[in-house]
Amino acid sequence: MAEAAQISTNAPMTSSRRTYNRALARFVRHRLALFGLAAIVLLVLLCAVGPYLWPYNDLRIDIRHRFAEPFSGAHIFGADELGRDLLARLMTAGRVSLTVGFAAMAISTVIGTFIGTIAGYFGGIVGTALMRFVDAVLCFPSIFLLLALAAFVQPNLLAITLVIAATAWMEVARVVEAQIRSLRERDFAVAAQALGASDAHIMFRELLPNAIAPIVVASTLNVARAILLEAYVSYLGYGIQPPTPSWGNMLNNAQEYLSTAPWLALLPGLFITLAVTGFNFVGDGLRDALDPRLDLP
Amino acid sequence: MSVGAETILEVLELRKWFSVGGGVLSGAKSTLKAVDGVSFSINRGEILGLVGESGSGKTSVGRTILRLAEPTGGTIRFRGQDITHISRGALRSIRPKMQLVFQDPFASLNPRMTVGRIVGAPLMIHEPGLGRAERARRVGEMLQTVGLSPGHAERYPHEFSGGQRQRVGIARALMLAPEFLVADEPVSALDVSIQAQIINLLLDLRARLSLAILFISHDLAVVGHVCDRVAVMYLGRLVETAATAELFANPRHPYTEALFSAAPDPDPEIKRTRVILTGDIPSPINPPTGCVFRTRCRYALPACAEAVPPLRTVGPGHQSACIRDDLSLQPAI
């Protein structure tokens, strides 16, 4: 009986407006999360709108201004070895990198949520088999798995996104599995069962909405991971292929000129850092803000 | 109950065993006999109380009857139909007729759903063709039946008090017009003043809908007020059953006496000798031989260890599983 009471007080009553307000208040108090959110909003706006406003195109070659230094002329962030405008390239590359990040997050969240829900709800042999499969995939160092997979596919935006999603869904699956496994023992799940509800009804209508908070946290952190992974593979040459810029292949391109034109490496590196830390801070902030234990009366 | 009343539920030698321990690498499984050979029946419109201390298997009986847990053995007959092992699909059409009310009104309602959706869920599952407006109308009616207002449908469970939430849980259980309700400690999580309201609601609904209720409780005062008959359970077995008045006036099993004695007296002036049960309820994994109560029974004889005493008829409608007929036990106050 004491156990039941304890479970009920731990209930994530996130449906309440009051709880959302409290969660919001906690998020706003989290300075780093706000900084992260600002960085993300800024980057997304810059990459989405910037190319329409900036007079230079990411592919236009301007040989007279090769290796133009930042803040020295018309090219604010300088130009690369072909005289292409660096800011224009960073913005276009940002579109690619952020698209890969968000798309891979969406795909991996859907896969992870689905597998985690099935495993957590059915348990037994099905659950064990699925979760041991998750463990097996987790055993591969993801960067090698990624490179191995990337070596087999034609590197384009879709393929890279799918490959990254394939190495990132396991975390979500584990989080969701643990949540669903505990939720399904709760009385409201038993009540749905007693009403004769189908498994799909119980899983997706009754249980999953109660697991939203940890899913949101895990998928936010996944965006950061996906951006970083895309940078890895593109840097190593298996990812987005030139001349299409991505933050990763810009770094790759820049390493030849590291001593003579260091800004070519520093600026893409800065953008990657900004995006990844931004998402990580937001993820941490959400984790703290949505923690139901903090809602105890 | 009146003669010739229709039996709605019949349970014969019900067993529910759980295997505990025994991981992949460590063998050594043992069996926990939560319910071990329980038989009773309930008539239409009757309230049967099931009492016993924590761990005696009351909740397991309720859940197993509703097929929320698979029975290990025995027979469950509902409205004359054997439902012990019928498939999930076949069960689906019976589910509306047997429902469950939970102990903890805070855990039994999905915190993410409005009360309207919670109470309407049975209709969505069993009458999916029903229009939105019609469903809302029936939810509103049901909320009124249990003493809430139709306007409450748009609110979330956390906006209600414990008693109101319990009403929501009852509304959900009644939505499909069940004939049999398992009420698993429906008032033990509520304040005393609210307990009375919920009990009166259940009694009122029983009278109006001729509901049969299996009323699981450890509170003898509540059971005495609500139930027509009472079954006393100890360590997975029934030790005594009788009509409520008969049981309270003339208990025949030492465990029943101990339960009465443990209930608080409303009148501090009355001095009674208390029968204090020493120790905890034994482990159902390794129960005592013979009579399972003998380890805590102050009337135990060597003979009690020899065989499991069966339920014997000791009076009209009164059965007890004690081999000693020579005891004069203290009645309830």
Q: Is B113 helix (H, G, I), strand (E, B) or coil?
A: coil
**For residue B206, which phi and psi values (nearest 5 degrees)?**
-60, -45
Asked if the structure places residue B293 within a domain, the reply is: yes
Rounded (10°) angle between helices B115-126 and B132-145: 120
Q: Once rounded to an integer, what is the mean pLDDT over residues B277-282?
A: 76
Q: In chain A, whose CA is at the least distance from the CA of B112?
A: A15
Give pLDDT tens digits for B50-108: 998 888 888 899 999 999 988 998 999 999 889 988 888 889 889 999 999 998 888 88
| ipTM of the modeled complex | 0.85
User: Which CATH number applies to A85-295: 1.20.120.1200, 1.10.3720.10, 3.30.1360.200, 2.60.40.3140?
Assistant: 1.10.3720.10
Task: Identify each DSSP E strand in B44-130 by its residue range.
Answer: 47-51, 73-78, 81-82, 98-101
Contacting residues of A for B92, CB less than 8 Å apart:
196
Q: What is the least distance, in Å, from the CA of A1 to any CA of chain B? A: 9
Rounded (10°) angle between helices A212-235 and A157-166: 130
Give pLDDT tens digits for A207-236: 988 888 888 888 888 888 888 888 888 888
Among A160-164, A291-295, B129-133, B212-216, the minimum mean pLDDT is found in A291-295
Give pLDDT tens digits for A257-269: 878 878 888 888 8
Contacting residues of B for A7, CB less than 8 Å apart:
107
Q: Of all residues in chain A, what percent are helix, strand and coil, respectively (each to 5)? A: 75, 0, 25
Asked if the structure places residue B2 within a domain, the reply is: no
Q: How confident is the model at residue B229 (pLDDT cuts 50, 70, 90)?
A: very high
Nearest Cα residue to B108 out of B57, B29, B38, B170: B170
pLDDT at B163: 87
pLDDT at B271: 65
Strands B81-82 and B312-315: unpaired
DSSP for A225-257 reads HHHHHHHHHHHTTSSSPTTS--HHHHHHHHGGG
Q: Once rounded to an integer, what is the mean pLDDT over residues A98-114?
A: 92
Q: How confident is the model at residue A2 (pLDDT cuts 50, 70, 90)?
A: very low
Which of the two residues, A238 and A135, has the higher pLDDT score? A135
Burial of B133 from C-beta contacts in 10 A (0-12 / 13-18 / 19+): exposed
Among A10-19, B137-146, B222-231, B275-284, the minimum mean pLDDT is found in A10-19
Residue A62 has pLDDT above 80, yes or no: no
Q: In chain A, whose CA is at the least distance from the CA of B159?
A: A16
**For residue A93, which phi and psi values (nearest 5 degrees)?**
-60, -40
pLDDT at B2: 45
Asked if the structure places residue B271 within a domain, the reply is: yes
Rounded (10°) angle between helices A157-166 and A142-152: 150
Residue B147 has pLDDT above 90, yes or no: no
Residue A125 has pLDDT above 80, yes or no: yes
Contacting residues of A for B169, CB less than 8 Å apart:
191
Residue A160 has pLDDT above 70, yes or no: yes
Q: Of all residues in chain B, what percent are helix, strand and coil, respectively (each to 5)? A: 35, 25, 45
Q: Once rounded to an integer, what is the mean pLDDT over residues B292-302?
A: 85
Q: In Å, how far from its chain's centre is CA B302?
A: 33
Please state, for a pLDDT cut of 70, what percent of chain B lies above it: 94
pLDDT at B4: 54
Q: Does B69 touch chain A (CB under 8 A)?
A: no
Task: Please answer whether residues A19 and B115 qualify as being in contact, where contact means their C-beta atoms are separated by less than 8 angstroms.
Answer: no
Which whole-number Å values give the CA distances from B27 to A143, A237, B21, B24, B294, in the listed order? Answer: 39, 52, 8, 7, 31
Contacting residues of A for B109, CB less than 8 Å apart:
188
Q: What is the least distance, in Å, from the CA of A279 to any CA of chain B? A: 27
Q: Which among A4, A196, A210 is the nearest to B126, CB-wise?
A: A196
Tell me which of A179, A182, A187, A201 to substitute to probe the interface with B (most B C-beta atoms closer than 10 Å).
Answer: A187
Give pLDDT tens digits for B25-63: 666 678 888 888 899 999 998 999 999 888 888 889 999
Which of the two residues, A65 and A114, has the higher pLDDT score? A114
Which whole-number Å values give the CA distances from A51 to A85, A120, A212, in the listed order? Answer: 11, 45, 35
Give pLDDT tens digits for A68-86: 777 777 767 777 777 778 8
Residue A14 has pLDDT above 60, yes or no: no
Token pair for A148: 């191995």
| d(C-alpha B122, C-alpha A179), whole Å | 25
Task: Please answer whether residues B222 and B187 qualify as being in contact, where contact means their C-beta atoms are separated by less than 8 angstroms.
Answer: yes
Amino acid residing at B90: A
Q: Once rounded to an integer, what is the mean pLDDT over residues B103-123?
A: 89
Q: Which residues pair with B11 in a beta bridge?
A: B40, B76
Which whole-number Å values give the CA distances from A157 to A61, A111, B141, in the listed order? Answer: 24, 19, 56
Asked if the structure places residue B278 within a domain, the reply is: yes
Please state, for a pLDDT cut of 90, what percent of chain A lies above it: 16
Mean pLDDT score of chain B: 86
Is the peptide bond preceding residue A243 cis, with omega within 30 degrees of 0?
A: yes
Residue B330 has pLDDT above 90, yes or no: no
The domain total for chain B is 1
Give pLDDT tens digits for A138-150: 888 877 877 787 7
**Cα dihedral sign, A209-A211-A213-A217:** negative
Nearest Cα residue to B126 out of A185, A155, A197, A149: A197
| d(C-alpha A265, C-alpha A252), whole Å | 8
| d(C-alpha A286, C-alpha A14), whole Å | 13
CA B151, B157, B163: angle at the middle one, nearest 5? 85
pLDDT at A13: 42
CB contact under 8 A, B107 and A193: no
Token pair for B251: 């208990």
Asked if the structure places residue B50 within a domain, the reply is: no
Token pair for B211: 């509901």
CB contact under 8 A, B107 and A15: no
Q: Once rounded to an integer, what is the mean pLDDT over residues A75-98?
A: 80
Q: Which among A190, A196, A210 is the nearest to B111, CB-wise?
A: A210
Note down the domain range covering B277.
Answer: 252-333
Task: Please answer whether residues B101 and B182 qualify as being in contact, where contact means their C-beta atoms are separated by less than 8 angstroms.
Answer: yes
Which whole-number Å values give the CA distances from B201 to B104, B142, B167, B184, B190, in the listed order? Answer: 17, 13, 9, 15, 14
Amino acid residing at B109: L
Q: Which among A190, A196, A209 is the nearest to B112, CB-wise?
A: A209
**Cα dihedral sign, B281-B284-B286-B288:** positive
Q: How confident is the model at residue A8 (pLDDT cuts 50, 70, 90)?
A: very low
Residue A17 has pLDDT above 90, yes or no: no
Q: Once rounded to an integer, what is the mean pLDDT over residues A149-162?
A: 80
Q: What is the least distance, in Å, from the CA of A183 to any CA of chain B? A: 10
Token pair for B18: 């759980």
Residue B128 has pLDDT above 80, yes or no: yes
Q: Which residues pair with B184 in a beta bridge?
A: B216
